[in-house]
Amino acid sequence: MKQQYTLITIFIVFISTFSGYSQIKYEKGYYIDNLDQKVHCFIKNEGWRLSPIAFSYKSSEEATAAQKSIHLVKEFGFDNGRSKYIRQTVYIDTSSDKASDLDNEGKLNRKEKRVFLEVLIDGKATLYEYRQERYDRFFYKKDDGDIKLLVYKAFLNIDNKIGKNNAYRQQLYNELQCDDHIENKNIKKAEYKKDDLVYLFKEYNECTGDSSVLPNTGISNKEKKKLFGLAIRPGVNFASVETTVSGGIGFTNTFSFNSVGYRIGVDIEGVIPYFRNKWAFFIEPTFQHFSKDDVFFIRPVTFVNEIEVEVSINYTSIELPLGIRHYMYLNDSSKLFLNTGFSYDINLGSKILINSGDEREFSTGANFLFGFGYKYKDRYGIEVRYMTERSLPQEGFQINEFSYRAFSILLGYTIF
């Protein structure tokens, strides 16, 4: 067990080190400085989960990276139109949205802050977002008016239950009227969430015939499809097996042997929609099988001559690996990835047979996994994976111990 935790520590350090050197793209973009000069450059797109206060940029692809802070820049964005931030001094309610941190007042806790607001929808009615660890806040602007906070606050009421100040719905009803195109019921059921608000602002701008509508939720439609993936994963297992056997003929002995087996699984991946889609969770239900027959010669303490012991293993199971995956982009077509996780093994009648007599069936087991792979065009992949030792307890006194570890080579074909 100590060896397994050592491997986990080494793997985590490896991920952290490798991540530091993996490529995060500097994409074509711009910034507007305090003198209203627009400067074209390459900006490091970090897919900010929280609203930034600075960004890294290069004057050219070969130039040395530098930083611009919120004090020096009025606006910055990317040429593909996917993301744009504007600097603004606003009054923000800084109350926490987390249930464990709620106070007992429905009134806002407003503070003046200079921030970068992300532009989600740009048009006659413009929608902005500001993200922090404890809360998300949305702002809007109509035509050339001022930027205003969409008012929302969660709090604990007199019954110690969660109440909500949903004043933003009245604001939306007052501001987003266009020939009854946006139904009142849509506003009434709109949550204080990005998708719901983006939908309402987009509908209003389309109703008013505003051609400058920029539906921008931070993730393109193409990338949204990639937030969930399904892949077929066939492969080969190079298994190492060790079993300790004792019995009534006066011996206790450990037998070790190697075997090659096959596996086929389905990889279900859910990408975290931040950090440039570089992190994902996965679960990979897998059918695996191997069998091995071998003969060993041992000399029990009470015997003069060696005796022959036949060991036969038929091992079939369903593995349920669950873990995290980290991608490292090489270019637009290629990327490397690292996996780490925990695998639970469900026995499907696996048995070990000693001297054609004593037969035992294994129970379930669990272990850790570590993998390193390559993916091409988000379609084809290959991975090498190491499964740490797992002990498979069994019923019966004659087979004292059975342990299994494997090194695997996996191929992958992503269906979607």
pLDDT digits (tens, 9 = 90+) for 365-379: 788 999 999 998 888
Residue pair 343/321 in contact (Cβ under 8 Å)? The answer is: yes
Q: Which two tokens stand for residue 357?
A: 């007599």
pLDDT score recorded for residue 1 = 47
Could you tell me which residues come within 8 angstroms of residue 355 by beta carbon, excluding any fewer than 6 positions away? 309, 310
Last residue of a domain, one of 183, 202, 220: 220
User: 299: closest CA among 311, 290, 308?
Assistant: 308
Among 26-40, 194-208, 267-281, 346-360, where is mean pLDDT lowest?
Answer: 346-360
Residue 10 lies in a domain: no
For 147-203, the pLDDT digits (tens) are 999 999 988 887 788 888 999 999 998 888 876 555 667 888 889 998 889 888 888
Mean pLDDT score, 206-219:
59
Diameter over CA atoms, the chain:
101
Q: Which residues pair with 352 in a beta bridge?
A: 313, 360
Q: Which two tokens stand for residue 11?
A: 């793997």
Mean pLDDT score, 79-107:
86
Last residue of a domain, one of 161, 191, 220: 220
Please tell me whether residues 299 and 239 are part of one structural domain. Answer: yes
Please tell me whether residues 184 and 279 are part of one structural domain. Answer: no
Label residue 198 left, alpha or beta by phi (over 0 means left) and psi (-120 to 50 means alpha). alpha
Residue 3 lies in a domain: no
Q: Would the pLDDT of 212 be above 60?
A: no
pLDDT above 90: percentage of residues in the chain: 35
User: 261: closest CA among 287, 283, 243?
Assistant: 287
Number of domains comprising the chain: 2
Residue 14 lies in a domain: no
- Burial class for 241, CB neighbours closer than 10 Å (0-12, 13-18, 19+): buried
pLDDT score recorded for residue 228 = 83
Read off the pLDDT band of 218 (50, 70, 90). very low
Residue 269 lies in a domain: yes
Give the end-to-end CA distance of the chain in Å, rounded to a whole number.
38
- Which amino acid does the sequence have at 147? I
pLDDT score recorded for residue 412 = 92
Among 171-180, 300-309, 315-324, where is mean pLDDT lowest?
Answer: 300-309
Neighbours of 402 (CB within 10 A): 24
Please tell me whether residues 353 and 317 are part of one structural domain. Answer: yes
Residue 402 lies in a domain: yes
* Length of the chain, in residues: 416
pLDDT score recorded for residue 397 = 44
Please tell me whether residues 252 and 193 are part of one structural domain. Answer: no
Please tell me whether residues 315 and 168 are part of one structural domain. Answer: no
Q: Which two tokens stand for residue 45?
A: 């797109």
* Range of 230-239, 308-317, 326-335 with top mean pLDDT: 230-239
Please tell me whether residues 206 and 256 are part of one structural domain. Answer: no
Residue 2 lies in a domain: no
- Which amino acid does the sequence have at 379? R
pLDDT score recorded for residue 313 = 79
Please tell me whether residues 148 and 252 are part of one structural domain. Answer: no
DSSP string, 48-93: -SS--SEEEEESSTTSPPEEEETTTEEEEEETTSS-EEEEEEEEEE
pLDDT score recorded for residue 370 = 92
- Check which CATH number belongs to the domain holding 379 and give it: 2.40.160.20
Please tell me whether residues 283 and 406 are part of one structural domain. Answer: yes
Q: Would the pLDDT of 9 be above 60?
A: no
pTM beyond 0.75: the answer is: no
pLDDT score recorded for residue 378 = 86
pLDDT score recorded for residue 333 = 79
Please tell me whether residues 258 and 178 are part of one structural domain. Answer: no
Please tell me whether residues 214 and 362 are part of one structural domain. Answer: no
Residue range of the domain that includes 242: 223-414
Please tell me whether residues 321 and 383 are part of one structural domain. Answer: yes
pLDDT score recorded for residue 366 = 83
Identify the three-state secondary structure at position 13. helix
H or E element, residue 182: none
pLDDT score recorded for residue 21 = 47
Q: Would the pLDDT of 331 be above 50?
A: yes
Q: CA Rg, the chain, in Å?
A: 30
Please tell me whether residues 171 and 257 are part of one structural domain. Answer: no
For 41-70, the pLDDT digits (tens) are 999 988 788 999 999 999 998 899 999 999
Residue 46 lies in a domain: yes
Q: Would the pLDDT of 18 be above 60?
A: no
User: 314: closest CA among 346, 284, 347?
Assistant: 347
Mean pLDDT score, 287-296:
79
Last residue of a domain, one of 167, 192, 220: 220
Residue 76 lies in a domain: yes
